[in-house]
Amino acid sequence: MVNFDFKKNFEIDDASLINFVHLSPPQKEMVLTWRNSERIRKWMYTDHVISKDEHQKFLVDLENNNNAFYWLVKMWNNYIGVVYFLRVGFRNRNTYFGIYANPQSKILGVGIKLDMLAIRLAFDYAGFHSLKLEVIEDNKHVIELHKKMGFVEEGKLKDFVLKDNIWKNVVVMGITNKEK
């Protein structure tokens, strides 16, 4: 059983991870802007433009949610992206995770750094055994990024997401603590 305070902020290496329940009003607005950018939305299951009210409700709901945790990542004096855990399995010490980079950032290697932070947070801090993710099959760049980090394809969810009136497959990938 995982005994870990997921609502905390963390310092990992040279990165600050600020839990969404602790975001300032400008940080909340910045995250909403990122999430609504076309570069981010097109790869998410929920791809509509999120209203301020909807975003505020999401943030409030996170305060009482013990199965979804989001962190804003600050590094090199820049906000570089978001790392999140979903469907946390406390008994079996596993979770799904996701990342997205600041869409305005020109910093190279942000995706790899966000992946590394998610892996460190999951395995070195939270004590998880396995980490899973789902990627829309067309997102080849992100699939290759995760493979570079040691994730392997574990399966495919056929016709799982409807994008532009076309059913898309989703690739399920994973890594275990012993493989990292």
Pick the CATH number of 10-130 from 3.40.630.30, 3.40.50.150, 3.90.198.10, 1.20.1070.10: 3.40.630.30
Residue 100 near residue 63 (C-beta atoms within 8 A): no
- What distances in angstroms separate CA 126 from CA 83, 94, 114, one per listed residue? 14, 10, 16
Q: Tell me, what's the pLDDT at 106?
A: 84
Q: What is the pTM of this model?
A: 0.93
Give residue-wise pLDDT tens across range 98-114: 999 999 988 888 999 99
Q: Tell me how far apart the 2 most distant CA atoms of the chain are, in Å.
A: 43
- Give the per-residue pLDDT at 161: 96
| C-alpha 5, offset from chain centre | 18
- Res 180: pLDDT: 55
Residues in the chain: 180
pLDDT in tens, 12-48: 999 999 999 999 999 999 999 999 999 999 999 988 9
Confidence at residue 73, expressed as pLDDT on a 0 to 100 scale: 98
Asked if 70 and 62 touch (Cβ cutoff 8 Å), the reply is yes
